[in-house]
Structure formats: structure tokens, C-alpha cells
Amino acid sequence: MSNSGGIGRRTHAPSLDSEAGLRAAYDALGSELYRMTYRALNDDGLAEEAVQETFLRAWRAADRYDPKRSSLRTW
């Protein structure tokens, strides 16, 4: 997956507390996260559920994300 959107970079991370920011994060990282969870779980439904739960938790914890400390990918 390419990182052309800057999501993995510390200075260009979207704000997760907005719908647009969360959508940008999902567009940039959702496929990669799905592939990793599918390889680990070997079940399409469980992988989709894990990705959904991950982004839901990220949205709920958006106030704790500091792009100066880590990239969105590693957070």
C-alpha cells in the first residue's frame, strides 16, 4: 500500500475527531489493516469486524492521538 496521502507521516495525519478525518484514515489504512487481520484470523467476517472495531476505537480515542509522537499507522 502506498503512503502517498501522508497518513503515515507524523506531520500530515488527519484529525480523527471528524468524519472526514476518520474517512481519510480508513481510506489510507483500512485495506492494509484488513489484510493483516485476515492473515491472522483467516476469516473474512472476523477480519472485517476487527477493522471496524479498530477504527471505532480510534475515533473514540481521537483526543489522545498526538501526531507529533507517532504516525497514525503505528498509533
Mean pLDDT by 10 residues, the chain (75 residues): 45 69 91 97 98 93 88 85
pLDDT of 10: 41
Residue 21 domain flag: yes
pLDDT of 70: 87
CA torsion sign, 71 to 65 to 69 to 11? Answer: positive
Range of the domain at 35: 14-64
Residue 4 domain flag: no
Residue 75 domain flag: no
Residue 34 domain flag: yes
User: Which of 64, 4, 11, 53 shows the shortest CA–CA distance to 30?
Assistant: 53
Residue 73 domain flag: no
Total domains in the chain come to 1
Residue 3 domain flag: no
